[in-house]
Structure 1
């Protein structure tokens, strides 16, 4: 099957035109692609946080089961206003420095990942909470 010169010209012009339109769309899309937020640092994904948090949770549970006095104290805070809980916990930890150190040690992996991944100290689960 032979094409006429006019048909070949139309085919070439159409291909070039389609390429130009596609290229223009690609170039137009590039600024929006670069405007997307940078990916998180390595090991700072939701899965990483979840894994660390579950480890901290399991260690906290084990600690409380093996320290019934601390478990009883923390359980007794249920239903209190948030600010009162903060005050009670701060006072308890000040009077029990060993418990304070042990709980901080348990929570340290969570504090570490939050620090490494750019969370601020104002984060409610950050390193400043027991």
Structure 2
């Protein structure tokens, strides 16, 4: 059987591709594993934190009807309208802003600790 130039190029191309995959596999297998995650940085940990923050936010809104009314009034508005009204409300009500930041702090702590 005679090999034509196109067949030879295909065989060489397939061989080089296989060699590249083999080298890449060998190289990646010998690479060091990523560093371990910090403790308490799993999806389950995050879910628990979010559940706690959600429960605390709900309790806060139920015990602060004017704040609950404000957040309820944002429904149906555009994102830009909500953002503008939220900024104005929080500027006018710094105690509410600080209390809600305190409730959300565990999520910030998780993000800072776990990336």
Task: Work out whether the TM-score is over 0.5.
Answer: yes
Q: TM-score, normalised by structure 1?
A: 0.63
Residue 74 of structure 1 aligns with which residue? Answer: 71
Matched position secondary structure for 1:57: helix
Distance 1:78 1:32, change over 3 A: farther
Matched position secondary structure for 1:78: coil
Distance 1:96 1:35, change over 3 A: same
Counterpart selection for 1:64 from 53, 61, 66: 61
Please identify, of 34-43 and 57-66, the stretch whose mean Cα deviation from structure 2 is larger. Answer: 34-43
Bigger radius of gyration: 1
Q: 1:28-79 deviations in whole A, cap 9, x for unaligned? A: 6572374765443221111010000000000000000000000000001001
Distance 1:33 1:62, change over 3 A: farther
Residue 90 of structure 1 aligns with which residue? Answer: 87
Across the aligned residues of Structure 1 and Structure 2, the Cα RMSD in angstroms comes to 2.1
* Aligned ranges 1:9-88 → 2 under 5 Å: 31-32=28-29, 34=31, 37-88=34-85
**Moved beyond 4 Å, runs of 4+:** 35-39
Paired residues, number? 92
Counterpart CA distance in 2 for 1:51 and 1:35 is 31
Distance 1:78 1:37, change over 3 A: farther
Counterpart CA distance in 1 for 2:83 and 2:39 is 33
- Structure 1 unaligned segments of length 5 or more: list them: 1-27, 119-130
- Structure 2 unaligned segments of length 5 or more: list them: 1-24
